[in-house]
Chains A and B, each alone.
Chain A
Amino acid sequence: MTMMIEYFKLAFKNLKTRRLRNWLTILGIVVGVFLVVTLISLSGGIRDTIMKQLKSLGGDVIFVLPGSMDSPMSLVGGEKLSKEDLSVIKKVKGVDIVLPMSYSSKIMRYKNEQKIVFLTGVPWGEGIEILTIFQGWSLSQGEWPKPGKRELIIGSLVAKEDFFGKEIKTGDEAIINGKRFKIVGILDSLGSKSDDTAVYLDLSIFQQVTGDREGGAQAAMVKIGDGANVDKVAKEIEGALDEVRKRKRGEDVSSFSVLTSDKMGNIVGGIMGIIQASVIAFAAIAILVGGLGIMNSMFTAVRERTREIGLLKAIGAKNSAVISIFLIEAGIIGLIGGMGGVVLGLVIAKAIELYGQVHPMFYLEAYMPIGLIIFSLFFSVLIGCLSGYFPARKASKLSPTEALRSYE
């Protein structure tokens, strides 16, 4: 053990002499570790943020979407829930309120500015209760629109000056698809940029404006009655929709999804898991490249220091001593690189988090568990030692006479 301390001292002295090259080698590791830490920290943060938003939806709400979760493309496709689907859902036992929702991107004109907004149609009559009580919507200004009137409420960001160039006040008018609307209310922030930049109106008006005469919806939010079991109701909705589709339309593929917030959490978790795994894989490659840098650096060091190794062996260094010194050098390079990478990674992740607080589009909290830090440090030392091993072994196997004969 005391020997190891001596070897550490020697290794440190050796590292100090070849500063530039060692710093470059360390930089290689820093980049790799920094990538790992930042990417894991951010993707973890995104997952946590999404999970938090899902939780805020509440457990008693079920979402029904057209398109199957098995083929994700159908989710973004043009499929819709028909009027018939909606009435079937309404009849399922335990369902209290069914809130159909439709959305579409439209150009909105305010004063002389035009902007694309996310237009969302919701039936105000049935919807207000779910939205205010269960989803926590509230108005910062004005009042809720009356059903059947050409009245809009707008997300908090739409009202801001930097959206349309002028701050929007209740009572102002805006034009969508050539039709004139009165802005009657401004929402408090809903917590996500996409919600806060949307414009909301009554579903029936939405259908008029967009020329949709079928009366379906792109999604439905289902509020279950008191005492009903979410999962059971979700199952029954699924069964009812399946049956209606098979019987009336002869379809045998269920092209809809019934999602509880738990289920959505699982889906999001699964997707984020895949993203994180691939992020880790890429970052691991980056660290590996850094490891090759260490290996290269150590091999060069062995060649340069052949005489030195010969001398150490001549004056009594065993093979194990030579291996130890070289491994410690490589390990130190790995450790310093790892520490640099962790610090840089955490700083960048934190900076993005702070940026996200100003620009809600990037809203997320950086995820930095202590385990991630320890793992990164451990991993970089390991890579350092692994890549130092072969050069070290080569160094230790030199015969002292031959090593001493070589010229610098």
Chain B
Amino acid sequence: MEEAVIRLENVQKVYQLGNIDVPALRGIDLEIFPGSFVTIMGTSGSGKSTLLNIIGCLDSPSKGKVFLDNKDTSLLSENKLAQIRGKKIGFIFQQFNLLQNLSALENVMIPMIFQGISEEKRIERAEHLLRQIGLENRMNHLPSELSGGERQRVAIARAFANKPKLVIADEPTGNLDSNSGKNVMEILTEFHKKEQGTLVVVTHDLMIAEYSEKIFHIKDGRIVPNHIQTEKIL
């Protein structure tokens, strides 16, 4: 059987709010295989963002193990995690999170800086990515000069800059109108096919979930069987 890109074993996460322990994840087991497109769905407060942060190595679990490429990452130092994120994981956020003082091209180049890639190669790769998302004429525009959909497309290009094994998108269309949202999802799926990565999207929008191959439903910090959840939503 194929090795999972990411495997979670009984992952629990507890936040402390003052003296009260608030469990966000109550034991999650899940495997995501290379090249797949997976959606994680759930209502707000269900723990889906926490789960995404742990899958993306942005956060460590309170209990349980996280294997990325078969390596346990739950005990790594923050700097090691940063290194792994930079190399193997791409992020797409609801808020785009582009650097306002850098052009579209420079924004796409940023993740490559931390990997020590030469400027020449960075520009080449960034231009290639921006051409693919149809922004070849806006490469030198600042984010403030781009529309929401264009910004998210730049963010997608940035996420794929280092050819990551895993791309994580947190409500990628949450801040966009339905047309731009559709456009962004099309580009995302297209990239997913071309760049051969694994794509994990968190959303509460069933329309988006339909693009994916597999849906995990999460409720109260646990993965729940698909059919119950789907019935409820429908």
Contact = CB atoms under 8 A, between A and B. Distances in A.
- Do chains A and B interact in one complex? yes
Interface stretch (A21-29, A307-315, A357-365, A368-376): A307-315
Interface stretch (B84-92, B128-136, B182-190, B203-211): B84-92
Contacts of B29: none
A248 to B, nearest CB: 86
Contacts of B110: 312, 315
- Chain A binding surface SS class: helix
B91 A315 contact: yes
B101 A17 contact: yes
A316 B83 contact: yes
A308 B95 CA distance: 11
Interface string B21-43: 00000000000000000000000
B116 A319 contact: no
Given A13-B102, A404-B93, A316 B87 contact: yes
A193 to B, nearest CB: 57
A318 B93 contact: no
A400 B99 contact: no
B82 A317 contact: yes
A400 B78 CA distance: 10
Contacts, number: 65
Interface in A276-318: 307-308, 310-318
B100 interface: yes
Nearest to A7: B113
Contact of B97 (A14, A311, A399): A311
Contacts of B93: 311, 404
A17 B113 CA distance: 20
A308 B97 CA distance: 7
A13 B99 CA distance: 10
A321 interface: yes
Interface residues of B, number: 30
Contacts of B101: 13-14, 16-17
Contacts of A73: none
Nearest to B96: A311
Contacts of A10: 113
A277 to B, nearest CB: 44
A16 B101 CA distance: 8
A87 interface: no
B197 interface: no
Contacts of A319: 78-79, 82
B114 A2 contact: no
B158 interface: yes
B59 interface: yes
Nearest to A6: B113
A3 interface: yes
A401 interface: yes
Q: Which 10 A-B pairs have the closest CB atoms?
A: A316-B86, A17-B101, A316-B114, A315-B111, A311-B97, A6-B113, A318-B79, A318-B82, A401-B58, A400-B58
Given A316-B82, A317-B86, A399-B59, 8 more contacts: A2-B116, A13-B101, A308-B99, A311-B97, A311-B99, A315-B91, A318-B83, A318-B114
13 contacts: A3-B113, A3-B116, A13-B106, A17-B100, A308-B97, A311-B97, A315-B86, A315-B91, A316-B114, A317-B82, A317-B86, A317-B114, A320-B79
